[in-house]
Amino acid sequence: MFSYRHAFHAGNHADVLKHSILIQLLQYLRRKETPFWYLDTHAGAGTYDLSGAWANKTGEFAGGIERLWDAPDLPPMLAEYIAVVKGMNPEGPLTRYPGSPWLAFDLLGPRDKLRLFEMHPTEAGVLAENLRRRGRTDARKFMLYATDGFVGLKALLPPPPRRGVILIDPSYEDKNDYRRALIAVREGLERFSTGCYAVWYPQVQRREAQLLAEKLERLQVKSWLHATLTVAAPSASGVGLHGSGMFIINPPYTLRDQLARTLPYLAKTLGIDGAGTYALRHAG
C-alpha cells in the first residue's frame, strides 16, 4: 500500500487549478434540468484540516489557496472557487479545505449521483466518516467503493442518464498511474464518448508525465482543453512538483475563456519568485 496522503498537499497550487476547474465542470452540467453522475476515481479523504499538523508540515496551502483568500481582484472562476471554500469556513479564517468529493457533494443537485473510489483503507474510512458526519448517508445518491478506481470506473460507464463528469486524479506515486490513467480514459471513451473527463497530472521531471500529456492530446475526441500552471523552474535535484496540468475532454464551451482569464492571474500570483507560467491549448 502506498503512503500518499492528500492532507499534506491540500489547497496547494495544484488543488487550486484542479478544484477551480472542477467547480466549473459541475456548475455547467447543473445548468440543465437533466440529472448527471459525478465519478471520482481517486477521491481522497474529502475534507482537510489546514490547521492540522500534516498540512502545516509542508505548508503547501500557503503557496496556493491562501494567496487568493483575501485577494480583491480575482477572475470570476477563482472568485467562485474561493466563495465555495469560504462557505466551508463560516468563521472567517481558512482552516477547512474541501477535496473533490466534497465539492461535488455540495454542488450536485438532488437528482444527481456520486460514485467515489478510494483505495487507501484509512482514507476511505475518513471519507466515509466525513460524509456520515455531514449527514451524507443517502445510498441512492452516493456510493463509496474502497477499491481500485481505475478498475471500477469502466463498470459504471456509461452512467444511466448519459451525462457525467469523470475526475481521474491519481497520486502518481506509482509510475504505472500514468499509463493506467490513459487506459482509463480510452476505455471510458469507448463506453461513454460524450462524457466530460478531467485528468489531473503533475509536472515533475519524469518522462512518463510528459508522455501522458502528449498522448492525451493525440486522443481522437471531439474537443479537449489542456491547461497547465507552472509555479517554479524544475529543481536542480530533479525531484519535486513544479506545476501541474488538467486535461479536459468534452469541456463546457465556456471554460476556455474562463481559463484564458484565470491562468495568467494564477501564474502571477502563485508563481515563486516570478517564475510562474501557464499554457492553454485546445482542439475542437
Ligand X SMILES: C[S@@+](CC[C@H](N)C(=O)[O-])C[C@H]1O[C@@H](n2cnc3c(N)ncnc32)[C@H](O)[C@@H]1O
Q: Which residues bind ligand X (CB under 6 A)?
A: 4, 6, 18, 40-44, 99-100, 117-120, 123, 148-150, 169-171
Measuring CA to CA, which residue among 165, 167, 282 is closest to residue 227?
282
CB-nearer residue toward ligand X: 148 or 217: 148
- Cis before residue 158, ω within 30 degrees of 0? yes
Beta strands in the chain (DSSP E): 37-40, 47-49, 96-98, 113-117, 142-145, 164-168, 196-203, 224-230, 243-249, 277-283
CB-nearer residue toward ligand X: 106 or 260: 106
Query: Looking at residue 273, what DSSP letter applies?
Result: G
CB-nearer residue toward ligand X: 56 or 171: 171
Query: Looking at residue 233, what DSSP letter applies?
Result: P
CB-nearer residue toward ligand X: 89 or 193: 89
Of the residues 15, 40, 112, 169, which is catalytic?
Answer: 169
Least spacing, CB of residue 45 vs ligand X, in Å: 7
Q: What is the DSSP string of 155-181?
A: HT-S-TTS-EEEEE-----STHHHHHH
CB-nearer residue toward ligand X: 11 or 35: 11
SS3 229: strand
**Alpha-carbon dihedral 94, 70, 235, 8, rounded to 10 degrees:** 10
Least spacing, CB of residue 162 vs ligand X, in Å: 24
Active site residue 169: yes
Least spacing, CB of residue 143 vs ligand X, in Å: 14
CB-nearer residue toward ligand X: 102 or 192: 102
SS3 248: strand
CA–CA distance, 81 with 24 (Å, rounded to integer): 9
Task: Say if CB 65 and CB 141 are below 8 A apart.
Answer: no
CA 209 to each of CA 27, 57, 116, 246: distance values in angstroms, whole numbers, following the listed order: 29, 26, 24, 12
List residues with catalytic annotation. 169
